Chain A
Amino acid sequence: MRTQQTLGEVLAARGVSRRGFMKFCASTASLMALPPAMIPRIAAALENAKRPSVIWLPFQECTGCTESITRSHAPTLEGLIFDTISLDYQHTIMAAAGARAEEARHEAMKANFGEYILAVDGSIPMKDKAFSCIAGESNYDIFIEAVKGAKAIVAIGTCAAFGGIPMAKPNPTGAASVQDVLNEAGLQKPIINISGCPPIPTAITGVLAQYLTFGELPELDHLGRPKAFFGQNIHDRCYRRPFYERGEFAESFDDEGAKKGWCLYKLGCKGPVTYNACATIKWNNGAGFPIEGGHGCLGCAEPGFWDWGGFYRPLSQGDWGDWKTLGIAAAAGAALGIASVAVSRVKQARARQEKS
């Protein structure tokens, strides 16, 4: 597919007013924590942006990330922006299928070699690469080939970013993250991890907008996630924080505390150790986020969240073992004690006998 129309031309053709467009640029700037002076620059860049090619590779995924991004209850500018990148390969929403779809992918990769953005969702199985294939090709092979001509990789969702749910113990498929696979293959490419299970829609579009504007990666945290969305933890922005501070906790779902909207720490909320924008940007166009709905944060934007001992296990609890094991340890200790006593008693008895 050729990308000849600029983004500005497409928007105009769609009937988006200049005012509407500038409003979008302003809200994008503020989302990305960029100063107002940047707005004209964003507008200029977007207007004149050539529609970059985006190739979206789906691996061991549940399609939730696609659902999240495309889910909107009303047409939104984000959706329009999506129309204005050249999404050359995306299983869920592309029209073509089968051999024609694969053909489209290879063509796009060839035509835009070195320039296309590689979007990935789902983890890649490494134990036996045959565990996940598309049209007879393994995910691993598809990925390695696609990486060669990619300008940058956007790992969408916790599976692509960190391994996600397939990686949960005992990890039967040997699921690996995009970064893991690159490391294993000895390759290097700029990666942005947009984690979350699924990620917040505006996190994707905001990052893309920044990339389109500046042509460089946004500031990333130590896990490769854009700081603009993943720089603060849920706990610090949670509206229920005052209840945590005061020590007012819900003890069970639907108890008095729960009904009063108290802190969900004791119901396993992982807010304090989770970094995402749920508490500020929220979901469903700002309708709410899990804690607001009365359920603790699962920590879904963090690596290994599925193996944190359970969604309802509070952070102050851990995997301590069981009484039986502790009992065995105590018995072993007692045996050592008896051994020591036996030696001492013999020593003492001997000494006492010698006296008399």
Chain B
Amino acid sequence: MSVDAAAFQTFREKAGQLRTSAVPAAVPSDVRVDRAKTVFKRRLDAGQATYLETCIHCGMCAEACHFYEATGHGRYTPIYKVDLLRRYYRRELAPMGWLRRLVMRDITAKDLEDWQELVYDSCTQCGRCDMICPMGIHISPMIGIMREALAEAGLQPIEQRALAKEINEQGTLLGIGPGTYQAVAAELRGRGVEVPLDKPRADVMVLMNAMDAAVFKDAIAATARIMNRLGLDWTIRTGAGDAAAFDWTSGDERTHARMTRRIIEDAAAAGAKTVIVPECGHGYAALRWGGANVYGQPLPFEVMAISEFVGREVQAGRLKVKKVAASRSVTYHDPCKVGRWSGVLDEPRQALAAIGIEVREMESHAKTNYCCGGGGGVFLNERAAKLRQGAFRIKMKEADATGAASVVTACGHCRMTFMAGAQQANWPTPIESLVELVAENLAE
């Protein structure tokens, strides 16, 4: 498999243009605070209250955060990133609120502006801080609340706003849409890989993934080959919309709810029993954990990540694979949203073991892995480029320490982050896709 370097370059240029095409949100600053507070008011509950009450300001969460580790700046302390939420809670929902109001300042518009960097640039919502907190505080979902609050106040990163506008008005992501998929399907058919698009009904529905269509067509081909080999009744329905949940990461809850509902209704209409999210971390996490809550009822189908699906099928013996010709060692990078956030930790490794690839684990792997640095929309956020590169260096060091020849992952976004980071740092280690590796080694 090879990655089209030119396609990657084009994609990055298009992403870079987002800044120029975006229009700043027209939310007056006196309204900003109200809007943010309304989000806090809606989202806080007893569980979050417990978390906010129990913080002892020990600072250990910072020691798990790659952005703090890379910079040494105290303001990137994870629990500090949700400080505005804490202040709102303490002053307006918590017991003894009237006492707090005497000594604690209210949130201001300037606070919201200052927190943009903390919540969007120096956080990928990777959840590593959740693993270290001795008080058991679940910080990462609260970052989501902060993002929703800032987005509602018109302060999400400019690139995210541009993407949301495009999705809402044109139904495409960086120009990629149903048309692109039709072109890709045609191309792959030419290569002998059948990609059934827009079947009216199917058991398994695989979602579109803009990154794959633009840069990683081989991942689409690999998915198709695996589905076809399994003999499944499957389809990709272009009317369902893209898996990539940029709206979720930016906190644009309105757009996200619309896009999610579209996927669910379309899958239900197609009678799908399983919806598979291709290699995309946020897409999987958003649908798997947020879908039912947007829908207002349990989903009528199972949601799986492609890496999860492949691992399961290999373990069950339904997907027959062969061992790689020449033995080699890789290290596996767990995409945060698929691994730590969603529990898909064993399946990818089972798949790699089945095709005879030795996995040399990084010191922090599986549920304690380091984020690639580009998740949560950070990859597209130009303002955060320096921070992202600093975080990426941690990843490079860990990978190098394993002595593995390449890094394998199961998320297009992580893949692009690795590619961009490697380019900038002149790092020679290649990044590979799990689904492509498995598809290359299907039994005859």
Which A residues are within 8 Å of any B CB, using their own CB? Answer: 336-337, 340-341, 344, 347-348, 351-352, 354-355
Does B315 touch A at the CB level, under 8 Å?
no
Write the chain B residue with the least CB distance to A355: B42
A interface, over-half SS: helix
Does B270 touch A at the CB level, under 8 Å?
no
Complex: how many Å from CA A8 to CA B42? 99
Does B71 touch A at the CB level, under 8 Å?
no
Complex: how many Å from CA A354 to CA B44? 16
Complex: how many Å from CA A337 to CA B94? 9
Write the chain B residue with the least CB distance to A350: B41
Chain A: minimal CB distance from B41 (Å)? 4
The interface bits of chain B over 35-69 (1 if a CB of A lies within 8 angstroms of the residue's CB, else 0) are 00010011010000000000000000000000000
Which B residues are within 8 Å of any A CB, using their own CB? Answer: 38, 41-42, 44, 92-97
Contacts of B41 in A (CB 8 A): 347-348, 351
Given contacts A340-B97, A348-B41, A348-B44, 14 further A-B contacts (CB under 8 A): A337-B95, A340-B94, A340-B95, A340-B96, A344-B92, A344-B94, A347-B41, A347-B92, A348-B42, A351-B38, A351-B41, A351-B42, A352-B42, A354-B38
Q: Are A347 and B42 in contact (CB under 8 A)?
A: no
Complex: how many Å from CA A354 to CA B41? 12
Contacts of A355 in B (CB 8 A): 42
Contacts of B44 in A (CB 8 A): 348
What would 23 A/B residue contacts be, using CB atoms closer than 8 Å? Answer: A336-B95, A337-B95, A340-B94, A340-B95, A340-B96, A340-B97, A341-B95, A344-B92, A344-B93, A344-B94, A347-B41, A347-B92, A347-B93, A348-B41, A348-B42, A348-B44, A348-B93, A351-B38, A351-B41, A351-B42, A352-B42, A354-B38, A355-B42
Chain B: minimal CB distance from A356 (Å)? 9
Contacts of A340 in B (CB 8 A): 94-97
Chain A: minimal CB distance from B66 (Å)? 34
Chain A: minimal CB distance from B39 (Å)? 9
Complex: how many Å from CA A348 to CA B48? 14
3 nearest A-B pairs in the assembled complex, by CB-CB distance: A340-B95, A351-B41, A344-B93
Chain B: minimal CB distance from A268 (Å)? 39
Write the chain A residue with the least CB distance to B37: A351
Contacts of B97 in A (CB 8 A): 340
Chain A: minimal CB distance from B46 (Å)? 9
Complex: how many Å from CA A96 to CA B287? 109
Contacts of B94 in A (CB 8 A): 340, 344
Complex: how many Å from CA A69 to CA B322? 109
Write the chain A residue with the least CB distance to B96: A340
Write the chain A residue with the least CB distance to B254: A355
Chain B: minimal CB distance from A346 (Å)? 11
Complex: how many Å from CA A52 to CA B95? 74
Complex: how many Å from CA A250 to CA B38? 64
Write the chain B residue with the least CB distance to A333: B95
Contacts of B42 in A (CB 8 A): 348, 351-352, 355
Complex: how many Å from CA A234 to CA B41? 63
Contacts of A352 in B (CB 8 A): 42
Complex: how many Å from CA A355 to CA B39? 10
Q: Most A CB atoms within 10 A — which of B42, B44, B97? A: B42
Complex: how many Å from CA A352 to CA B41? 8
Write the chain B residue with the least CB distance to A348: B41
Complex: how many Å from CA A336 to CA B94? 11
Contacts of A351 in B (CB 8 A): 38, 41-42
Write the chain B residue with the least CB distance to A352: B42
Chain B: minimal CB distance from A334 (Å)? 10
Contacts of A341 in B (CB 8 A): 95
Write the chain A residue with the least CB distance to B95: A340
Chain A: minimal CB distance from B301 (Å)? 24
Chain B: minimal CB distance from A329 (Å)? 15
Write the chain B residue with the least CB distance to A351: B41
Q: Most B CB atoms within 10 A — which of A336, A341, A351? A: A351
Contacts of B96 in A (CB 8 A): 340
Complex: how many Å from CA A105 to CA B95? 73
Complex: how many Å from CA A352 to CA B95? 20
Complex: how many Å from CA A344 to CA B45? 10
Contacts of A337 in B (CB 8 A): 95
Contacts of A336 in B (CB 8 A): 95
Contacts of B95 in A (CB 8 A): 336-337, 340-341
Complex: how many Å from CA A355 to CA B41? 11
Contacts of A344 in B (CB 8 A): 92-94
Q: Most A CB atoms within 10 A — which of B94, B95, B96, B97? A: B95
